[in-house]
Amino acid sequence: MQELTSIFVQSIFIDNMVFAYFLGMCSYLAVSRTVKTSMGLGIAVIFVLGITVPVNYLINEYLLGPGSLAWLGPDFVDVNLNFLSFIVFIAVIASMVQLVEMFIEKFSPALYNSLGIFLPLIAVNCAILGGSLFMQEREYQSIAEATSFGLGSGVGWLIAIVGIAAIREKIRYSNVPAPLRGLGITFIITGLMGIAFMMFLGIKI
Amino acid sequence: MSAEVKEKDPLFSLKNRKLISAPLNKDNPITIQVLGICSALAVTAKLEPSVVMALSVVFVLGVGNVLISLLRKTIPPRIRIIVQLTVIATLVILVDQFLKAFAYDVSKQLSVFVGLIITNCIIMGRFEAFGMANKPWPSFLDGIGNALGYGWILIVVGFLRELLGSGTVWGYPVFEKFGLYSVGYENNGMMILPPMALIVVGVIIWVQRTKVRELIEEN
């Protein structure tokens, strides 16, 4: 349990998707104009990461990884389908997003109305595929660890986007040099936030 | 298909040349369209991975845009996203396997970011905006143009960060040869850290918009 908490906290702060790896930057910059919409997108990201990382973990463990087909019989011990992982992961993500969208639409129209427009965007959010690829690279030991990594990364992303949206809402009242307005200043603020987040580096939990 | 193109347009008509030149400056994918930032920043701590990344994107986007353009009449609109993703993923697997075979060190440095070319929004964005609606040749030019626009930013950022951060260019110790260290110069270790990539791009945007005033945004 302690191990899981530590993975969770680490993926929120130390390995923050946005500040440490620049994942999901496109939607991060495009949708961070107001706090309300960025909150919606953030929650959708947590949701999708929390589902796709464990699913891809199972796929990696039992279908793709080196020696993972051993359960089919001794002939398959040497099979390594690792090179297929990109295409399988992205297919899983795209179809999971579609599935989640239909599921939410059916069972919770209210949630659908607030999240709905963001879900298709998420299929191509690099944070989602990045989550699965990091999961593969870091070789988590169990599905529980993979899940807590997925959820933690999602929460980290939410914190980042809500933070920048709040700053952007206020910065309208400041006198930014004209050529820096909009995108330029957002980049620089994100850089400064990244430096602030680096204080978590080296913390052992 | 190609015969049609030749009838209407010479290969390098003004319109076609514009497809290449616009993304280099006024319609740059990174600084104006805000596409493809994700993988752009993480790989730019050194020049070499930046160049490799830029070349990979040129390949994937150029070839992919042509493929999508050839398929555009057969792809059913409802499932186009998954078809596009499959095309991109196939090309990226090619790049990944190629890098693993011929440039293993760089491939290790780029780690997951080669895979992340798949979700690089610049590629999906160009497929959606251009490949789906245009003939193969203009699509090819558009793909190459945008990838180059993305690539030059990457290379500039990679060059600056490597030069200022480690005092080298492509691993060659420039500052040491000039003897800057003996007069008390120190490397700025900060430039190697991820957040500085954002700030460097911010500054590039600043310079670009100071030169081209019409790009300035209203907050």
pLDDT, tens digit, for every residue of B175-197? Answer: 777 777 777 777 877 888 878 88
Question: Cβ atoms within 10 A of the Cβ of A72, count?
Answer: 12
Residue B9 — pLDDT band, cuts 50, 70, 90?
low
Question: Cβ atoms within 10 A of the Cβ of A104, count?
Answer: 20
- State CA A139 to chain mean position distance: 17
Residue B219 — pLDDT band, cuts 50, 70, 90?
low
B112 touches chain A (CB under 8 A): yes
**Residue B216 CA: distances (Å) to CA of B38, B154, B209:** 23, 22, 6
- So what's the pLDDT on residue B6? 44
Which residues 83-112 of A are in CB contact (within 8 Å) with B?
Answer: 83-87, 90-91, 94-95
- The percentage of residues in chain B with a pLDDT greater than 70, rounded to a whole number, is 91
pLDDT tens across B78-109, in order? 777 778 888 888 898 888 888 888 888 888 87
Of A20, A86, A184, the CB nearest to B202: A184
- So what's the pLDDT on residue B5? 45
- So what's the pLDDT on residue B2? 42
Lowest mean pLDDT among A165-179, B12-26, B155-169, B195-209: B12-26
Residue in chain A nearest B92 by alpha carbon: A86
Cα-Cα-Cα-Cα dihedral of B43, B49, B53, B54, to 10°? 110
> With an 8 Å Cβ cutoff, are B112 and A133 in contact?
yes
B197 touches chain A (CB under 8 A): yes
A19 touches chain B (CB under 8 A): yes
Residue whose structure tokens are 């390995």: A15
CA distance B218 to B60: 34
Q: How many residues does chain B have?
A: 219
Compute the mean pLDDT over every residue in chain B, rounded to the nearest whole number: 80
Helices assigned H by DSSP within A31-142: 35-59, 85-107, 109-115, 118-122, 126-138
- So what's the pLDDT on residue B1? 37
- So what's the pLDDT on residue A159? 92
pLDDT tens across A36-95, in order? 878 888 888 888 889 899 998 988 888 877 777 777 777 777 777 777 887 888 888 888
**Cβ atoms of B131 and B72 closer than 8 Å:** yes
Residue in chain B nearest A84 by alpha carbon: B93
Residues 6+ apart with CB under 8 A from B59: B91, B95
B79 touches chain A (CB under 8 A): no
pLDDT tens across A118-164, in order? 666 677 677 888 888 888 888 888 888 999 999 999 999 999 999 99
- So what's the pLDDT on residue B4? 43
- pLDDT at position B116 over 60: yes
> With an 8 Å Cβ cutoff, are B195 and A194 in contact?
yes
Region A24-29: what's the mean pLDDT?
79
Helices B194-211, A183-197: inter-axial angle, 10-degree rounding? 160
- The percentage of residues in chain A with a pLDDT greater than 90, rounded to a whole number, is 11
- pLDDT at position B153 over 80: yes
- So what's the pLDDT on residue A118? 66
Give the residue among B206, B200, B173, B204 at the shortest CA–CA distance from B187: B173
Query: Cβ contacts (< 8 Å) between B201 and chain A: which residues?
Result: 187
Q: What angle do CA B36, A90, B157 make, to 5 degrees?
A: 20
**Cβ atoms of B144 and B29 closer than 8 Å:** no
Candidates B95, B190, B198, B208, partner chain A, best to mutate (most A CBs within 10 A): B198
Residue B209 — pLDDT band, cuts 50, 70, 90?
confident
Residue A109 — pLDDT band, cuts 50, 70, 90?
confident
Give the residue among B143, B99, B165, B140 at the shortest CA–CA distance from B11: B140
Region B111-125: what's the mean pLDDT?
77
> With an 8 Å Cβ cutoff, are A195 and B195 in contact?
yes
CA distance A17 to A86: 19
Query: Cβ contacts (< 8 Å) between A24 and chain B: which residues?
Result: 38
Candidates A183, A189, A192, partner chain B, best to mutate (most B CBs within 10 A): A183
Of B86, B124, B198, the CB nearest to A188: B198
Query: Cβ contacts (< 8 Å) between B101 and chain A: which residues?
Result: none
**Phi, psi values for residue A104, rounded to 5°:** -65, -40
pLDDT tens across B26-73, in order? 777 777 777 777 767 778 878 888 888 888 889 998 999 899 888 888
Residue B124 — pLDDT band, cuts 50, 70, 90?
confident
A167 touches chain B (CB under 8 A): no
CA distance A17 to A39: 16
Region B188-211: what's the mean pLDDT?
84
Region B144-166: what's the mean pLDDT?
87
CA distance A199 to A148: 22
Burial class (CB within 10 angstroms; exposed 0-12, middle 13-18, buried 19+) of A118 = buried
- So what's the pLDDT on residue A150? 92
Q: Which has more confidence, B128 or A159? A: A159
B57 touches chain A (CB under 8 A): no
- So what's the pLDDT on residue A158? 92
Which residues 25-44 of B are in CB contact (within 8 Å) with A?
Answer: 31, 34-42
pTM: 0.79
CA distance B103 to B95: 11
Residue A3, classed as helix, strand or coil, is helix
Amino acid, res. A192: L
B127 Cα to chain A: minimum distance (Å): 13
Residue B11 — pLDDT band, cuts 50, 70, 90?
low
- So what's the pLDDT on residue A151? 93
Of B38, B85, B93, the CB nearest to A26: B38
- So what's the pLDDT on residue B192? 81
A26 touches chain B (CB under 8 A): yes
**Cβ atoms of A205 and A9 closer than 8 Å:** yes
**Cβ atoms of B38 and B120 closer than 8 Å:** yes
What are the residue boundaries of the structural domains of chain B, listed by start? 36-158
A25: β partners? none
